[in-house]
Amino acid sequence: MTAITTRTSPRQPASATFVPVVAAFVVAVVAWKAIVVIGGYPPFILPAPETVATRLVKGWTDGTILPHFVATATEVALGLAVGAALALVAGYGLARSAFVERVVSPYLVAAQATPILALAPLLALWFGAGLLSKVVICALIVFFPVAVSTMVGVRSVDVGLLELARSLRATRRQILTTLEVPGALPSILGGMRVGVTLAVVGAIVGEWAGAERGLGVLINVARGSLFDIPLMFATLVTIAIFGIALYLVVVLVERRLLGPRQP
């Protein structure tokens, strides 16, 4: 009995993905510079990439950006933890109980449809201008995508496998740990990809509704108080890199947990 050769896509050499990514980045930077030069924009409207790069390095080395980054990162980390944890539980409940789904879904969708930008000031009013309100906002914004992807993932577990488990007298807990969790994981991680990037957005929006520290606060201060537009752009770049880094973490976790499963 011969086996079909593995249908996993062969791991491409690192250079195959690396080169196009770097090339795309270079093209983007060149286009940015071109826009600045051709449009004749002054640095207080649109700084050139090298100006932003210099300000970025300076901002990090002279300690301007770091304390704000730590504040935002803390909000994101806690908000993610709380939001994702609740979402996993909720998603499971939604998947396994038609009653829960019928009762809870409308409120879930309503909460999602209300723009965070409108909710943020309310939340700042109720929870104060400290860490708590930002954590709540981040958790809220992360909740929906992770809950839905968990629900979809749990539901996608092959009914045949569930019957198999039943025939082997698996307990509810064993079904959860041996079937539902591994079966739902691809979908859950997909939801986490969305969630982590949204969490960063949530933290910034939360800070705009009232905060003492954070990258969102720094954007405002740079723009409205210091008139240091290069610093504002450098902060935006920092936020973008942070979001990308979080996304990559999820991708790596995904590869580690799911890799050998393909296709």
Positions that interact with other proteins (CB under 8 A): 1-8, 32, 35, 39, 41-46, 117, 121, 124-125, 129, 158, 160-161, 163-170, 174, 178-179, 182-183, 208-212, 217, 219-221, 223-229, 236, 240, 258, 260-263
- Least Å distance between CB 163 and other proteins? 7
- Least Å distance between CB 92 and other proteins? 18
Q: What is the DSSP secondary-structure string of 10-43? A: PPPPHHHHHHHHHHHHHHHHHHHHHHHHHHT--T
Distance CA 192, CA 252 (A): 12
First to last CA, the chain: 21
Residue 115 phi, psi (nearest 5)? -65, 135
By the 8 A CB rule, do 150 and 194 touch?
no
- Least Å distance between CB 241 and other proteins? 13
Between 7 and 15, name the residue whose CB sits nearer to other proteins: 7
Between 93 and 127, name the residue whose CB sits nearer to other proteins: 127
Rounded (5°) CA angle 207-212-215:
50
Between 7 and 11, name the residue whose CB sits nearer to other proteins: 7
- Least Å distance between CB 10 and other proteins? 14
Between 100 and 221, name the residue whose CB sits nearer to other proteins: 221
Rg of the chain on CA atoms, in Å: 23
- Least Å distance between CB 250 and other proteins? 18
Nearest of 167, 117, 169, 165 to residue 140 by alpha carbon? 117
- Least Å distance between CB 58 and other proteins? 10
Between 25 and 44, name the residue whose CB sits nearer to other proteins: 44
Between 43 and 93, name the residue whose CB sits nearer to other proteins: 43
Distance CA 233, CA 87 (A): 33
Q: Which amino acid is at 163?
A: E
